Amino acid sequence: MHKMQTGPGEAGAGLNRHILDPAANMQSHLNKISAGSKKHFWICAVAVAALDQVTKFFFFALPAFDTADKIAIVPNWFYIVRRTNPAAAFSIGPENPLFYIVATLLGMAVLIWLLTDLAENRLLPVLGLGLVCGGAVGNLIDRVFVGGEVRDFIEIYYWQGRPWPAFNVADAAICLGVAIVLIETFRSTSGSATQPEKPASEMRKRPTDQN
């Protein structure tokens, strides 16, 4: 039987379709992710986004805020507040809702690429990326449905009565997820860098002499 060879024109057309079709390009990346990695990633992401929205709804609806600006959980250190933030996490960045919506969507595309390149057969990076994705989605829901602002309710006083900018579950998940991914990346790269290379003589197998 003769194998059919693809001509240069057909190969170029296939390559052009792959580059020009974002859906096909994204699907090719998704196909590289193992079923287990997808499961852990989406469970973590959905759980974080759901927890973020539930806690925001619960704490913003507390009747105590009718008469108080903040609720002390640990006096002089940990308070529940009711704040809205038009900027990024911890009130950092420009106050432009459209900017953060577009940045979140682009960031999620990057997460899918990282999931195929970084997290293959490794649980911690998968969970780290899931935390980042879930946090991004949680804040994105606020951007779309709460007037372009994010709801924050955690306020911590860390030094001589100085408050850290109010944040939420999504912000905490993003920071934790980024930390996990960076640590795992550093461990992976440092481990491969310190691993000694085998000499060429060991790489080649010598044939066994037969009498």
The answer to whether residue 202 is domain-embedded is no
The answer to whether residue 29 is domain-embedded is no
pLDDT beyond 70 at 161: yes
pLDDT beyond 50 at 65: yes
Give the model confidence (pLDDT) of 1-16 as tens digits: 554 555 555 444 544 5
The answer to whether residue 198 is domain-embedded is no
Query: pLDDT value at position 18?
Result: 45
The answer to whether residue 80 is domain-embedded is yes
Catalytic site residues? 152, 171
Query: pLDDT value at position 11?
Result: 47
The rounded mean pLDDT for the chain is: 77
The dihedral region occupied by 197, where left means phi > 0, alpha psi between -120 and 50, and beta the remainder, is beta
- Angstrom CA distances, 56 to 70, 117, 157, 202, stand at 15, 34, 20, 60
- 76 bridge partner residues: none
Give the model confidence (pLDDT) of 87-143 as tens digits: 666 656 666 667 777 887 887 777 777 766 654 557 888 899 899 999 999 999 998
The answer to whether residue 84 is domain-embedded is yes
pLDDT beyond 80 at 59: yes
Give the model confidence (pLDDT) of 18-35 as tens digits: 444 545 554 555 566 677
User: What is the count of structural domains for the chain?
Assistant: 1
Range of the domain at 182: 34-189
The answer to whether residue 152 is domain-embedded is yes
The answer to whether residue 208 is domain-embedded is no
Query: pLDDT value at position 167?
Result: 93
The answer to whether residue 179 is domain-embedded is yes
